[in-house]
Structure 1
Amino acid sequence: MNAKKCAGCGVALQIEDAGRPGFVPEAARDREPVICQRCFRIKHYNDASSVAVDQDDFLRLLGGIASTDSLVVHIVDLFDFEGSMISGLQRFVGNNPVLLVVNKIDLLPRVTNWNRLRNWVQRQAKANGLKVADIVLCSARRNIGFDRVVEAVAELRGERDVYVVGATNVGKSTLVNRLISDYSDLERELTVSRYPGTTLDAVHIPLDDGHAIIDTPGIVYKSRLSEVIPREALQALLPDKPLKPLTYQFYERQTLFFGALARFDFVEGERQSFTAYVSAGIPVHRTKQERADELYANHRGVMLSPPSKEGLDEMPPLSRHTLRIPPGEPQDIFISGLGWITANGKTGAVVDVYAPKGVKVMLRESIL
Structure 2
Amino acid sequence: MTEVESADRALRCSGCGILLQSENPGKPGFAPEQALSKEPVICQRCFRIKNYNESSSVTVEQDEFLRLLAQIGQKEALVIHIVDLFDFQGSLISGLQRFVGSNPVLLAVNKTDLLPKVTNWNKVRNWVQKEAKDMGLKVEDVILCSAKQNSGFDRLLDAIAERRGDRDVYVVGATNVGKSTLINRLIRDYSDLEQELTVSRYPGTTLDMVHIPLDDGRAIIDTPGIVYPSRYSELVAPVDLAVLMPEKTLKPAVYQLNEGQTLFFGGFGRFDFIQGERQSFTCFISGRLPIHRTKLERADELFVNHAGEMLSPPNRENFESLPEWTRHEFRIPKGSRSDLFISGLGWIKINNDLGAVIAAHVPKGVKVLVRPSLI
Report if TM-score (shorter chain) is over 0.5. yes
Contact 1:76–1:102 (Cα < 8 Å) also in 2: yes
1:312-351 equivalences in 2 (<5 Å): 312-351=319-358
- Equivalent-residue separation in structure 2 for 1:161 and 1:354 (angstroms): 44
How far 1:292 sits from its partner (Å)?
1.0
Among residues 142, 146, 155, which one is paired with 1:148 in the alignment? Answer: 155
**Alignment match, 2:238:** 231
Equivalent residue, structure 2, for 1:187:
194
| Structure 1 residue corresponding to 2:70, chosen from 44, 63, 66 | 63
User: Normalising by the residue count of structure 1, what TM-score does the alignment of the two structures yield?
Assistant: 0.98
2:209 is matched with 202
AA of the residue aligned to 1:189: E
Q: Residue deviations 1:278-301, cap 9 Å, x none?
A: 011111111111111121122211
Two-structure CA RMSD over aligned residues (Å) = 1.1
The equivalent residue for 2:144 is: 137
Conservation of the 8 A alpha-carbon contact between 2:244 and 2:288: yes
* Divergent runs of 4+, >3 A: none
Residue of structure 2 equivalent to 1:291: 298
Query: Residue deviations 1:229-263, cap 9 Å, x none?
Result: 22221000001100000000010110000011100
Secondary structure at the aligned position of 1:174 is classed as: helix
Shift of 1:335: 0.2
Q: 1:92 aligns with which of 91, 99, 103?
A: 99
TM-score by length of 2: 0.97
Q: How does 1:1-12 map to 2 (within 5 A)?
A: 4-12=11-19
Amino acid at match of 1:170: V
Match of 1:264 among 247, 271, 279: 271
Percent of residue pairs identical = 66
Structure 1 contact 58–217 (Cα < 8 Å) conserved: yes
Instruction: Please say if residues 336 and 355 of structure 2, whose CA atoms lie closer than 8 Å, have aligned partners that are also in contact.
Output: no
Q: Deviations over 1:156-208 (max 9, x none)?
A: 11111000000000000000000000000011000000111000111111111
Give secondary structure in 1 for the equivalent of 2:125.
helix
* Counterpart among 45, 54, 63 of residue 52 in structure 2: 45
Is the Cα contact below 8 Å between 2:282 and 2:348 reproduced in 1? yes
User: Does the 8 Å CA contact 1:180/1:205 hold for their aligned counterparts?
Assistant: yes
**Is 2:112 the counterpart of 1:105?**
yes
User: What amino acid is aligned across from residue 87 of structure 1 in structure 2?
Assistant: S
How many correspondences in the alignment?
368
Tell me if structure 1 keeps the 8 A contact 2:94–2:137: no
**Aligned 8 A contact 2:341 2:347 in 1:** yes
What per-residue deviation string (whole Å, max 9, x for no partner) do you get for residues 304-340 of structure 1? 1111111012110110000111111310000000000
Map of 1:253 onto structure 2: 260
Does the 8 Å CA contact 2:109/2:142 hold for their aligned counterparts? yes
TM-superposition CA deviations, 1:107-131 (whole Å, max 9, x none): 0000000001100001001101111
Is the partner of 1:359 in helix, strand or coil? coil
Does 1:211 pair with 2:218? yes
Which position in structure 1 is the counterpart of 2:88?
A: 81
Residue identity matched to 1:325? I
2:287 maps to 1:280: yes
CA distance in structure 1 between the aligned counterparts of 2:310 and 2:100, rounded to whole angstroms: 47
* Cα pair 1:230 1:315 within 8 Å, conserved: no
SS of the residue 2:127 aligns to: helix
